[in-house]
Amino acid sequence: MDMAKTDLIAVVGCGYVGLVTAVGLAEQGMRVRAFDVDPVRLAACREHQFPMLEPGLEDAARAAGDRLTFHNVREEAWPHPAFTFIAVPTPQGDAGYPNLSMLRQVLMWIADGRSRASSENVIVIRSTVPPGTARWAHAEIERLIGGEVPVVANPEFLQEGRALQDFREPSRILIGSENRGAAEGLRDLMAFTSAPVIITDTSTAELAKYGSNAYLAMRISFANEMARLAEREGADPLVMLQAVGLDPRIGSRYLKPGVGYGGSCLPKDVAALVSMGSAANEPMELMRATQEVNELQRRRIIRTLADALEGLGGRRVAVLGLAFKPGTNDVRDSPGLQIARELLTAGADVVTWDAAVTSDLLPAADAELSVIGDPLEALRGADAAILCTEWPEIVDLDFSRAAEMMKGTLLVDGRYAWDPLRASNAGLDLVRIGTSRPVRHAAVSA
Ligand code: UGA
């Protein structure tokens, strides 16, 4: 492919993946037009105020200057770019299967600018989509336009909180394509990284994305299940898992027990695999168990708290952490938010704190949830506090001051992040998810 023509890139969808892709490519000197349907979001993006907390992203967008511009798909036609990256949401739909309606709308928009579309206008699906989607999109575009437009599956592996860094230095670049020229064109476009490139067919690339997230989720559920048993047996969960992870065949990452995984990707992708398995008559038993263990963790932390407080009605509970993990202000499928909701439903008096989530970032249905800006203030008068997100402000909590602020003495550690000795020295009782007895294990350094 003629690299001069790769100069203009379109990115459709100004969410997490789209913005990181747009900014990341503009940073490499390419001219990028980013599209979305939401005028409010576009206006904020033009001011380089992005809806998510992502280190370096706004600065990099500012530095790209005029190379990165923002446009509304409802007002502008598809500009016939060399590459069109589609990064629209594929939310969990019926029975866990991803809903592809937004992807379909983008294809219709592309088809509206039909006149000159050809094999020089590669469409790149960056959203997470089930195997067969790129092939379907290719046929759909052909049907709508009547010409050959390559459709490539190029899943991303960005982690929230370090997404721009992951874009610059990905672990691998995965290109699924039935058209060799298009695959090589995309590989050349991404030549700014030294990451290994895998070129394969579209279904293999699409499924590999699910496989990666599902494997991470499965490890977390494994760690959680083993940690619960360890608590029952009086073993130290962290040392036990550290010992497991030191086997180089296993590795120590994603073996941290806690309240379970959340976010917009892992839960959705595990559910999608369960659904795909049912449709293909290949039951995904490990995925089902992974889901069940994850749900159990959230229920169990509430039971632990209810047992220790002898009921939740009227008890004041501080939920520390609403983001689904530290380093982000994303509350999608957040364990902390779900726990706060359930405590409210059970009649508890709930106050919350988070380092990045403010009440305006919560869904409208959570309007009655009180979010307090200072962690110690959130503890004032509390019968108990639950750690749901391991923000440094909470991991390093001044336990003596916490003990002064609280009415009760109960701390529930949903992330195995607090040092039990420090807590007990301050007169606080620390319990973890799997047990309602205070823990006495020595803390383990990484
Ligand atoms: C995840 C994957 O890690 C990315 O590779 C992928 O690109 C992305 O989904 C996506 O599909 O777009 P992300 O959703 O940002 O990234 O979240 P992770 O950092 O993987 O964390 C997921 C959840 O697992 C969090 O709730 C975290 O607290 C939890 N977790 C993680 C644990 O409970 N224990 C661990 O040891 C690690």
What is the 159 CA–ligand 1 centroid distance (Å)?
Answer: 7
Q: Which CATH architecture has domain 3-200?
A: 3-Layer(aba) Sandwich (3.40)
Backbone angles phi, psi at 316, to 5 degrees: -95, 120
Mean pLDDT of 305-316: 94
32-82 pLDDT, tens digit per residue, is 999 999 999 999 999 999 988 899 999 999 999 999 999 999 999 999 999
pLDDT-based confidence at 2, cuts 50/70/90?
A: very low
Hey, whose CA ends up nearest to atom 10 of ligand 1?
265
Residue whose pair of structure tokens reads 């529930």 in the numeric block:
412
Q: Are 312 and 306 in contact (CB under 8 A)?
A: yes
Q: Does ligand 1 have an atom closer than 6 angstroms to the CB of 162?
A: no
CA 316 – CA 308 distance, rounded (Å): 13
CA 114 – CA 144 distance, rounded (Å): 8
Mean pLDDT of 209-222: 98
| pLDDT at residue 145, rounded to an integer | 87
The proportion of the chain whose per-residue pLDDT surpasses 70, expressed as a percent, equals 95
Token readout for 43 is: 């206006």
| pLDDT at residue 151, rounded to an integer | 97
Is 80 exceeded by the pLDDT of residue 338? yes
CA 202 – CA 83 distance, rounded (Å): 17
Q: Which CATH architecture has domain 241-446?
A: 3-Layer(aba) Sandwich (3.40)
Q: How many residues does the chain have?
A: 446
Q: Does ligand 1 have an atom closer than 6 angstroms to the CB of 261?
A: yes
Give one DSSP letter per residue of 192-258, joined into a string.
TS---EEEE-HHHHHHHHHHHHHHHHHHHHHHHHHHHHHHHHT--HHHHHHHHHTSTTT-STT---S
Q: Are 101 and 28 in contact (CB under 8 A)?
A: no
Hey, whose CA ends up nearest to atom 6 of ligand 1?
157
Q: Are 4 and 82 in contact (CB under 8 A)?
A: no
> Residue 127: which residues within 8 A CB-CB, separation 6 or more?
13, 17, 86, 87, 88, 89, 90, 103
Q: State CA 178 to chain mean position distance.
A: 29
Is 90 exceeded by the pLDDT of residue 437? no
| pLDDT at residue 435, rounded to an integer | 63
Atom index in ligand 1 nearest the CA of residue 158 equals: 7
Q: Does ligand 1 have an atom closer than 6 angstroms to the CB of 159?
A: yes
Q: Does ligand 1 have an atom closer than 6 angstroms to the CB of 213?
A: yes
pLDDT-based confidence at 439, cuts 50/70/90?
A: low
163-204 pLDDT, tens digit per residue, is 999 999 999 999 999 999 999 999 999 999 999 999 999 999
99-115 pLDDT, tens digit per residue, is 999 999 999 999 986 65
What is the 346 CA–ligand 1 centroid distance (Å)?
Answer: 29
The residue extents of the domains of the chain are 3-200, 241-446
What is the 261 CA–ligand 1 centroid distance (Å)?
Answer: 7
Catalytic site includes residue 45: no
| pLDDT at residue 440, rounded to an integer | 53
Hey, whose CA ends up nearest to atom 7 of ligand 1?
157
Is 50 exceeded by the pLDDT of residue 4? no
Long-range contacts of 28-33 (CB under 8 A, 24+ apart): 28/192, 29/67, 30/6, 30/67, 30/189, 31/7, 31/67, 32/64, 32/67, 32/68, 32/69, 33/8, 33/9, 33/69, 33/70, 33/71, 33/79, 33/81
Hey, whose CA ends up nearest to atom 24 of ligand 1?
261
Same fold, 3-200 and 241-446: yes
Q: Are 103 and 15 in contact (CB under 8 A)?
A: no
Hey, whose CA ends up nearest to atom 25 of ligand 1?
261
Q: Does ligand 1 have an atom closer than 6 angstroms to the CB of 390?
A: no
347 SS3 class? coil
Q: State CA 411 to chain mean position distance.
A: 27
